[in-house]
A and B are shown apart, each in its own frame.
Chain A
């Protein structure tokens, strides 16, 4: 009988090298790759394009800042997961893909809705649970969708929507329509089996899909190095899948890389696994006291703010002046305030709407 090894160290179930509390220090899978050094015109973007990009990014930011205020005032309930800090990803991707390419994401979905045809009014009304909302008040914050414009929605089960993204890509390949699907997930969804099952089938079947992790450093309150071993992007290696890590704080980088990837997929019908490193400025949801990270860390990332970065680019390159910036901001502010007014004045769904949208037919005999 072999000698048993004597256990002298205290038993812990935290990753090697981390203490009981890491006090917010992010160790792995968060180093930001260099942003692209290309100017907008080198990327094929016009002055008007980049002004619009800024407009869209600022709209997402302001929409959520105001939504947060309305939530805090108790104007609506439910969860509210804010996207602030990650706007370069939605904006860069929407610009990189064709309008009929498909996008699907998790519950941090407001920015994605806004870049894919959910109007600020329809978005705000959905947060309020009004019948004029993009999902008729049936989905709320986590379930924005605009399927007509190929935004398949936000989904509230972590990792649950990943096979749906694969299935949307499957149907596109089946129909040979040339569309690319971009399936976004948070770093918290990376350890879900659904991702690994879907990646395996996607690579085996050559599905035209990008599985893109928006790694914002935290799965709710658990830092990425505490929930996932190794580097996230290396998950691709096990499936022999093409992979890339990119800077998610710079909209031009996201635009450039996603465009390259989409082009490759259209040519070769092979999936990609992409890790986009970013940061969320707010908590997981509104009830999050954010004790798992330091103020200093947040401030470091705020210096990299993608919205400010875009504004500074526009000013540095003399594309617009300060007056124009103020004009854009003020116009966005008006849009958002109108959206709030619209949401507040809209009606809640009729009582009968409880039974709408359950089945394709209108005469389903509901059980009582």
Chain B
């Protein structure tokens, strides 16, 4: 094990996979000469050269599509978006092409591509830079979606994503790149796509939280354990699609209560989907209606006070836990 920053864990995954497969290359804005907008790909240009570390112009639609075409024709591209907020311009290539080419051609071609980059908000950046896209992409068949919360998960799942023969969206967070964690160093360390993890054990309430919200949930759980004696079990889905609902349901059968924390808007997001699945799979086990903590149904504001109001906070999670445990 080594203590790595999130960005170093991602870099290690890319580096190890590139070292063992010549067909893997990285393409995106500022990935090569600038060493990555967030230094994720630092040093890889020197190591792999400009054939395999490719700076693109600011043309998300174009280079996402070139990546898809290259994947169809035998390569294994890692396409970096400076943020998934900018990748909305590339959505046609992800949604209409990467996810559908195999199906439309009756299975004649695979599209082994990874689209990766930061997702959701990163502080006061106002409306266009703060959206969480994991549930939106998870809506579409043919795509796998990963949004991890810790460096070890990031490394293991990114390696699996790069080895996967399907299009995978791998989401990160600008605010987590400096976060440190213990990461296995073996070249063959991978984590299977589609497996959730029980990250904190507790018997009173199940909290489902992924990505940056995992850390918000953890803060709430620590505070509650200290102040009120409520023991929270935290499940990190890690993979949004395919979703490991079994692990979540198993926990709910133990705790009988559930709060979902999601850094997306409330309508049709992961919280809505998980809430539906829980009522279908564990209706008789619930002692309280499932609660969710999400962004409000508004755009991201800039003003500090409004932004703090907008982003899910540990206190909101505690409120929701108090609701499902009838402590208020």
Contacts and interface: CB of A to CB of B under 8 A. Distances in A.
Contacts of A137: 106
Contact of B166 (A171, A194, A359): A359
Given A145-B108, A201-B56, A204-B57, A167 B102 contact: no
Name the residue in B56, B70, B72, B194 with the highest tally of chain A Cβ atoms < 10 Å from its Cβ: B70
Interface string B90-115: 00110011000111111111101000
B105 A153 contact: yes
B106 A162 contact: no
B74 A160 contact: no
Interface in B28-77: 51, 54, 56-57, 59, 61-75
Given A143-B104, A160-B96, A204-B57, A358 B141 contact: yes
A107 to B, nearest CB: 11
Contacts of B104: 135, 138-139, 143, 145, 153
A314 interface: no
A174 B105 contact: no
A138 B103 contact: yes
B202 interface: no
B243 A168 contact: no
A152 interface: yes
B210 interface: no
B142 A359 contact: yes
Interface residues of B, number: 45
Contacts of B165: 359-361
B59 A201 contact: yes
Contacts of A157: 92, 96-97
A119 interface: no
Contacts of B56: 201
A147 B112 CA distance: 16
B296 interface: no
Contacts of A164: 65-66, 68-69, 72, 97, 101
B74 A175 contact: yes
A152 B111 CA distance: 13
Contacts of A228: none
A356 B141 CA distance: 12
Contacts of B73: 102, 167-168, 170-172
B65 A198 contact: yes
Nearest to A179: B73
A161 interface: yes
A77 interface: no
Interface in A325-367: 356-361, 364-367
B106 A134 contact: yes
A302 interface: no
Contact of A136 (B68, B107, B109): B107
Contacts of A133: 106
A197 B69 contact: no
A356 B104 CA distance: 11
The 3 A-B pairs of least Cβ separation, nearest first, read A167-B69, A163-B65, A197-B62
21 contacts: A102-B73, A138-B104, A139-B104, A145-B104, A147-B109, A153-B104, A160-B97, A162-B65, A163-B64, A163-B65, A164-B66, A164-B69, A164-B97, A171-B74, A174-B25, A194-B92, A197-B61, A201-B56, A358-B102, A364-B242, A367-B243
